[in-house]
Amino acid sequence: MARTHDLGHLLHISAEAIGRPGQRRFRLRVVNGAGFAASLWLEKEQLNALGDAIETVLEDEGYEYVPLPPDDAPPKLEAPQSFDIDIQLFQLSMGVNAEDRRIVLIAADGPPDADATTGLTMEFDYRSGYELRQQIAEVIAAGRPLCPLCTAPMDPGGHMCVRRNGHQREL
């Protein structure tokens, strides 16, 4: 039977990459008001798509980020190092609660019809979404540089560029 955890409004959501460029793993770390913490492992492409989707929502909703004065800023919560749930994402969906100005995420570690699927629902405000989008962009950019000729990631130990070695067919 599938288990679903409704985390409600998040106090903390962050993205990080673990490992060396070319061998990194990516995850979201989330904490709700009750202190329930989850680690959601995902592919780089999934993380990048989430960032793009958040950016689109914020643009569509007309959100404008205004930095808070230091005295008004809420205390920064440290990301947890231990988690109540630690899952590899199979599926990640995003929606919008426009009335409350929140972004809603629905995550699962398996298909909806699987018996042992763990699902999570959570939401965070537009400000947190904006900050997460910026963090995702930084995490993605910290990876391997792209080859200017073929746009493939370049490894630190060398790069076999198909356009440079003559094996790329022009379309």
Whether residue 10 has pLDDT greater than 50: yes
What is the SS3 assignment for 119?
strand
Distance of alpha carbon 91 from alpha carbon 42, whole angstroms? 9
Task: Return the H-helix or E-strand segment holding 134.
Answer: helix 126-141
Residue 99 to residues 61, 96, 126, 129, Cα–Cα distance (Å): 11, 9, 12, 16
For residue 73, what pLDDT is reported? 67
For residue 169, what pLDDT is reported? 52
Instruction: Give pTM, 2 decimals.
Output: 0.83
**Which one-letter DSSP state was computed for residue 152?**
P
Beta-carbon contacts of 147 under 8 Å, excluding residues fewer than 6 positions away, are 153, 154, 159, 161
**Which one-letter DSSP state was computed for residue 84?**
S
> Hey, what domains does the chain have and what are their CATH numbers?
3-141 (3.30.2450)
CA of residue 32 relative to chain centroid, distance: 16
Residue 117 to residues 42, 46, 114, Cα–Cα distance (Å): 16, 19, 6
Whether residue 158 has pLDDT greater than 80: no
Q: Among 14-18, 41-45, 66-70, 129-133, which is the least confidently predicted range?
A: 66-70
For residue 18, what pLDDT is reported? 95
